[in-house]
Amino acid sequence: MPDLAADIAHHAALDARMVEAAGEIRLLSMASWPAGRETDFCADYARGVARLPQIEYPRHDFSDTRNELDAIARAADPEHPLGQYLIDSARSWGVAAQLCECLGTAAVTDLSIQLYGSPFDPLPGDGPDARVAARHFLAIADEYDRELISPAEHVTISATALQLQLQRDLDDYFNDRVIEVVLDPDLIAKAAAGATRIRLRTTAAFSDYDRAQLLQHEAFVHSLSALNGRRQPVLASLALSSPRATATQEGLATFAEQITGSIDISRMKRLSLRIEAVAMALEGADFIEVFRYFLDSGQSPEESFASAQRVFRGVPTTGGAAFTKDAVYLRGLVGVHTFFRWALRQRQLRLCRWLFAGKMTLLDVQRFVPLFESGVLLPPRWLPQWIARANGLAGMLAFSLFANQIRLDAIEDSGFQDI
């Protein structure tokens, strides 16, 4: 890259090496269970037989990859914003590689916590831990979900029907076929997004809220940030789903659901159930106990299996171990919401838009300010409408900043007065 300054070219070359090394580390797919396990388990359970699933994972050796990632981190300048990003990212990928080498063992738990945190970590701003927050939302959902959910919201559509609807929405947004929506019978989650493809689990049923959530969460955050990351001439790694960026990316995607009115109490309940289930597994609950927890919470046997399967990806099913990725959603949502409010107060809403320029953390986007200002990093080409229309976003955040000063306990003591 002869047209770049020496420091930029040096770190761009290191980043290219990191992209090549990280390409071998397919953490989520390697930790996933083989397809079809739910059929036998649910059939046995219906007959009164409950057997712990036994999952065999292939053995992996990423020692060469980890050595390369260590070399990249050593060669990066810790005083340079690109060097800081590369050091943090290379180390994160190194932990992910180590986790893949330990699949099927209890050692995955600690490595997973290093990458994603745990339900017992405090939320940003010295808040309660994620489990406390999850139980708060579960209590609200249990008390009000029947009152708040209309009969129409119980109607579901098939994955095939949703595939056609989402494809039309995306083609209209891009005026072209940029992202393809496909069915995947092997997917654990109900949906997953890459830069140019969104997968839907073939057997899943979806509501109207699911459609809006998938469009805002998967397409207009996960896919758009990957597409924008691919356009970066210096940091190609911004197109990758780095483990260290998971909390910010999932928080941003969940925030998108919230600000567009796409999130409902049932969605908050699902996210909260997963956090509680991870905590249960860490405290000793086995797969069957976690499965029954989801079942008793109103999920179908098939969905309960899929939900419990998320908790036990890569770890023994006997209890005391967990894959903790689902702990990031509430922590990420609180973190992103707080960051957006801070950005408004500091008159830095441009940082919120720059978050879509690739898959980065909240810390990264602050480090990258001089790089965006100098043109080394490109602003996002594609943005969801809610953030492209900055006036509307600023209005919502301004009200949020003010409303958070109102003490509900004081109102409850004095009663509401006529307005």
Cβ atoms of 324 and 119 within 8 Å: the answer is yes
In our burial notation (b when 16+ CB lie closer than 10 A, e otherwise), range 69-100 reads beebbebbeeebbbbbbbbbbbbbbbbbbbbb
Which residues, 6 or more positions from 79, have their beta carbon under 8 angstroms from its beta carbon?
A: none
Section 62-67 average pLDDT: 97
The whole-number pLDDT of residue 63 equals 97
What are the backbone angles phi and psi of residue 157, rounded to the nearest 5°? -120, 165
Instruction: Identify which has the larger pLDDT, 43 or 209.
Output: 43
Helices (H), 182-327: 208-213, 224-230, 246-259, 265-282, 287-296, 301-311
Q: Identify the CA nearest to 331 among candidates 93, 126, 94.
A: 126
The whole-number pLDDT of residue 416 equals 47
Quick check: 129 pLDDT over 60?
Answer: yes
The whole-number pLDDT of residue 267 equals 85
Q: Identify the CA nearest to 293 among candidates 313, 282, 312, 307.
A: 307
pLDDT tens track for 1-30: 445 699 999 999 999 999 999 999 999 999
Please name the residue that has the structure tokens 């309660």.
Answer: 128
Residues composing the chain = 419
Provide the 3-class DSSP secondary structure of residue 71: helix
Beta strand 180-184 with 197-201: parallel, antiparallel or unpaired? parallel
The whole-number pLDDT of residue 1 equals 41
Report the alpha-carbon distance of residue 385 to residue 373 in Å, rounded. 23
- At 323, which amino acid appears? F
Cβ atoms of 300 and 312 within 8 Å: the answer is no
The whole-number pLDDT of residue 415 equals 53
For the chain, give the mean pLDDT: 89
Quick check: 419 pLDDT over 70?
Answer: no
pLDDT tens track for 377-394: 999 999 999 888 766 676
How distant, in Å, are the alpha carbons of 1, 21, 77, 236 from that of 14?
A: 12, 11, 11, 10
pLDDT tens track for 133-186: 899 989 888 877 555 554 445 678 899 999 999 999 999 999 999 999 999 988
pLDDT tens track for 334-347: 999 989 988 888 88
Section 339-366 average pLDDT: 93
The 10 Å Cβ neighbour count of residue 2 is: 4
Q: pTM for this structure?
A: 0.88
In our burial notation (b when 16+ CB lie closer than 10 A, e otherwise), range 358-393 reads bbbbbebbebbeebbeeebbbebebbbebbeeeeeb
The whole-number pLDDT of residue 164 equals 94
